Amino acid sequence: MAEALTAKKAKAPPKVKAAPVARAAGPDAEVRSLVTPEGVDLRLRLADVGQRLSALILDELLMGAIFIGLTIAGLLGLFAVHNKGGGEALLVLWLLAGFVLRNFYFIAFELSARAATPGKRRCGLRVAARNGGRLTADAIFTRNALRELELYIPLGVLFAPTDIAGGWMKLSATVWCGVFALLPLFNKDRLRAGDILAGTWVVKVPDRRLLRDLAQGGVYETSAIRFTLAQLDAYGIKELQVLEDVLRRFDRKAVQVVADRIRQKIGYARGEESDGAFLSAYYAALRQRLEARALLGRRRLDKHDKG
Amino acid sequence: MSELQLKSTRFREEREAGWRKLESLLVKVERGSAAQLSDDDLLAIPVLYRAALSSLSVARAISLDRGLLDYLESLCARAYFVVYGVRGSIWSSLARFFLDDWPAAARALWKETVVATLLLLLGMAVGYGLVVSQPEWFDAFIPPALASGRDPSASVETLRHTLYAGGQNQPLSAFAAYLFTHNAGIALLAFALGFAFGLPTVFLVVSNGCMMGAFVALFVSKGLGFQVGGWLGIHGVTENFAIILASAAGFHIGWATAFPGQKARLDAAAAAGRRSGALMGGVLVMLLCAGMLEGLGRQLIQDDLVRYAIAGATLVLWPAYLYLFRGPRTKLERAGG
Q: What is the pLDDT of residue A275?
A: 84
Select from B70, B169, B195 the residue whose CB has the most chain A CBs within 10 Å, as the one to mutate to test that interface: B195
**Which residue from B44, B11, B57, B59 is spatially nearest to A39, judged by alpha carbons?**
B57
List per-residue pLDDT tens for chain B, 337 residues long.
Answer: 444 577 888 888 899 999 999 999 988 888 776 677 888 888 899 999 999 999 999 998 888 888 899 999 999 998 988 888 766 566 777 788 888 888 988 998 999 999 999 999 999 999 899 888 888 788 777 766 666 667 777 777 777 777 776 544 444 556 666 666 677 777 777 777 777 777 888 888 888 888 888 888 888 888 888 888 888 888 888 988 998 998 898 889 888 888 888 888 888 888 888 778 788 888 888 887 887 787 777 777 778 888 899 889 999 999 999 888 887 777 777 665 4
Question: Is the predicted pLDDT of residue A10 greater than 60, yes or no?
Answer: no
Residues paired with residue A41 on neighbouring β-strands, in sequence order = A35
Of B4, B19, B80, the CB nearest to A210: B19
Contacts of A130 in chain B (CB under 8 A): 270
CA distance B266 to B256: 9
Q: What is the pLDDT of residue B49?
A: 94
Whether B81 sits inside 8 A of A134 (CB atoms) is no
Of A99, A114, A288, the CB nearest to B6: A288
Q: What is the pLDDT of residue A215?
A: 76
Q: What is the pLDDT of residue A21?
A: 37
Question: Is the predicted pLDDT of residue A61 greater than 90, yes or no?
Answer: yes
**Which residue from A259, A251, A250, A258 is spatially nearest to A278, judged by alpha carbons?**
A259
Which chain A residue has its CA at the smallest distance from B34's CA?
Answer: A113
Question: Is the predicted pLDDT of residue A208 greater than 60, yes or no?
Answer: yes
Select from B66, B72, B276, B293 the residue whose CB has the most chain A CBs within 10 Å, as the one to mutate to test that interface: B66
Question: Is the predicted pLDDT of residue A219 greater than 70, yes or no?
Answer: no
Q: What is the pLDDT of residue B86?
A: 64
Q: What is the pLDDT of residue A6?
A: 40
Q: Is A284 on the interface with B (CB under 8 A)?
A: yes
Whether B189 sits inside 8 A of A149 (CB atoms) is yes
Whether A213 sits inside 8 A of B65 (CB atoms) is yes
Contacts of A133 in chain B (CB under 8 A): 84
CA distance A112 to B34: 11
Question: Is the predicted pLDDT of residue A24 greater than 50, yes or no?
Answer: no
The tens digit of pLDDT for each residue in A227-242 reads 888 888 888 888 888 9
Whether A149 sits inside 8 A of B193 (CB atoms) is yes
Whether B266 sits inside 8 A of A196 (CB atoms) is yes
Which chain A residue has its CA at the smallest distance from B246's CA?
Answer: A145
Whether A135 sits inside 8 A of B270 (CB atoms) is no
Whether B62 sits inside 8 A of A245 (CB atoms) is no
Q: What is the pLDDT of residue B147?
A: 64
For residue A301, name the pLDDT band (cuts at 50, 70, 90): confident
Average pLDDT over residues A56-83: 87
Select from A5, A32, A95 the residue whose CB has the most chain B CBs within 10 Å, as the one to mutate to test that interface: A95
Q: 52-81 in A: which are within 8 Å (CB) of B?
A: none
Whether A91 sits inside 8 A of B80 (CB atoms) is no
Residue A91 region by backbone torsions, left for phi larger than 0, else alpha for psi between -120 and 50, else beta:
alpha
Classify B326 as helix, strand or coil: coil
Q: Is A257 on the interface with B (CB under 8 A)?
A: no
Q: Is A142 on the interface with B (CB under 8 A)?
A: yes
Contacts of B10 in chain A (CB under 8 A): none
Contacts of A11 in chain B (CB under 8 A): 266
Of A6, A37, A137, the CB nearest to B195: A6
Q: What is the pLDDT of residue A2?
A: 41
Of B4, B184, B265, the CB nearest to A99: B184
Contacts of B106 in chain A (CB under 8 A): none
| Higher-pLDDT residue of A45, A1 | A45
Q: What is the pLDDT of residue B7?
A: 82
Contacts of A215 in chain B (CB under 8 A): 6, 8-9, 65
CA distance B91 to B21: 29
Contacts of A212 in chain B (CB under 8 A): 67
For residue A278, name the pLDDT band (cuts at 50, 70, 90): confident
Residues paired with residue A125 on neighbouring β-strands, in sequence order = A204
Q: What is the pLDDT of residue A183?
A: 82
Contacts of B278 in chain A (CB under 8 A): 137-138, 141
Question: Is the predicted pLDDT of residue A163 greater than 60, yes or no?
Answer: no
**Which residue from A121, A299, A47 is spatially nearest to B32, judged by alpha carbons?**
A121
Q: What is the pLDDT of residue A3?
A: 41
Number of cross-chain residue pairs from A and B with Cβ atoms under 8 Å apart: 241
The percentage of chain B sitting over the pLDDT mark of 70, rounded to a whole number, equals 86
Contacts of B50 in chain A (CB under 8 A): 38
Q: What is the pLDDT of residue A8?
A: 41
Residue pair B195/B253 in contact by the 8 Å Cβ criterion: yes
Contacts of A203 in chain B (CB under 8 A): 77
For residue A217, name the pLDDT band (cuts at 50, 70, 90): low
Whether B73 sits inside 8 A of A111 (CB atoms) is no
Which chain B residue has its CA at the smallest distance from A98's CA?
Answer: B181
The tens digit of pLDDT for each residue in A85-134 reads 667 777 777 877 887 888 788 988 888 778 889 999 889 899 988 887 78
Q: Is A226 on the interface with B (CB under 8 A)?
A: no
Whether B181 sits inside 8 A of A98 (CB atoms) is yes
